[in-house]
Amino acid sequence: MERLIQANGQPHYGIFPAAPGEVNYRDFDFRSPMGRRLGALAKWRRFHQFQYFGLVSHELIGGCALGNLSLLGIGFVYLFHPPSGRMIERQFRLPLGFGSTFSQQPDSGICELRSGGNLLRLENSAQPREKRLLVELDDGTRIEAHFSEQQPAFQPMCICTPTAVNGWVYAQKVAGVRCQGTVQSALGDFDLARIDAFAHHDWSAGYMRPETFWNWACLSGEVAGTRVGLNLSCGVNETSFSENCYWLDGELLPVSGVHFQFNRDEPLQPWRIVSADGQVELDFRGHGLHREQLNLGFLASNFKQVFGCFQGTLRPPGRAPVVIDNLWGFVEDQYVKW
């Protein structure tokens, strides 16, 4: 589809075979819960967008996110070195998003944040279908990473769901793809192809619940010659349709609702994640985490992203089980008020 919002001001809902050309949120017929039509200022204030690029291998874990929260632009980047346990991380907050730009084209466009001598840049290309990450920090850290959804073929999860009484969320997820590029940092220099790194990607935007939470799990790697990716969530993107899925060699396999069991006060303690349909049964043990807290009253966040290893089993219907043994990935516990 060319645009997510239709001529009647309402989104296309469902799971799509490909991304819309544009998430044209300004054309949305945004109403109050009581049915009053809301104007351009309310559309701007309530529309939020974020993008995330993660990379995993046994030698290096990394994550970079950009967010447009209307009143605040945010960004973070971190690198974790599993053999030594060392980590570097940076956070950025820009009032009203000054110094940041965000494209509303999921497969074609640039989102970036500039702060002093620091640059976080995510670039998506439709032809060829690629996602690229560039990070340049004033301490000399540099990340150049990219992956292809074309060679070999990959089927992304593209979904739009109703949210609360008057909102919607479009989300696009990728996991289980090989990553190429280089990293230079205080942790060392790395060739991502040489260390057999995998990537995952999240592009999400819309009119999310004003106060919400979610748990999320993602892994990427190879099992017995098969590329495996996983994307599971609870709390968002599960009204009428669900983003829960995993990939085997780029083929998307849907999953029903999932339950996260974990200690919210001690996120590095073991997690257990199971699906109602029996396809997913995983244990996760954290090795480190990136944590952020913000409380401005009208805007608040309690965010914990944990990176570590998964063990367990995926049971695709009609196929042999896939045994997950120490595959690196992420889990997340997030509360946000915006």
In a domain, residue 1? The reply is no
Give pLDDT tens digits for 158-199: 999 999 999 999 999 999 999 999 999 999 999 999 999 999
Segment 54-87, tens digit of pLDDT: 999 999 999 999 999 999 999 999 999 999 999 9
Q: Is residue 8 part of a domain?
A: no
Per-residue pLDDT reduced to its tens digit, 251-290: 999 999 999 999 999 999 999 999 999 999 999 999 999 9
The answer to whether 20 and 4 are in contact (CB under 8 A) is: yes
Is the torsion defined by CA of 320, 241, 155, 143 positive or negative?
Answer: negative
Per-residue pLDDT of 285-304, as tens digits, reads: 999 999 999 999 889 999 99
* Number of other residues whose CB lies within 10 A of the CB of residue 292: 16
Structural domain includes residue 2: no
**25 three-state secondary structure:** helix
Q: Please report, for the domain that includes residue 285, its CATH number.
A: 2.40.370.10
Is 63 within a domain?
Answer: yes
CA distance 47 to 338: 10
The encoded tokens of residue 50 equal 């974020």
pLDDT at 152 over 90: no
Structural domain count of the chain: 1
Cα 258 to its chain centre, rounded Å, is: 17
pLDDT at 143: 98
- Percentage of the chain with pLDDT > 70? 100
Q: What pLDDT band is residue 151 in, cutting at 50, 70 and 90?
A: confident
In a domain, 20, yes or no: yes
The whole-angstrom distance between residue 213's C-alpha and the CA centroid of its chain comes to 14
Mean of all residue pLDDT scores within the chain: 97
Q: Classify residue 41: in a domain, yes or no.
A: yes
Asked if residue 208 is part of any domain, the answer here is yes
Q: Determine, yes or no, domain membership for 235.
A: yes
Q: Domain of 58?
A: 14-337
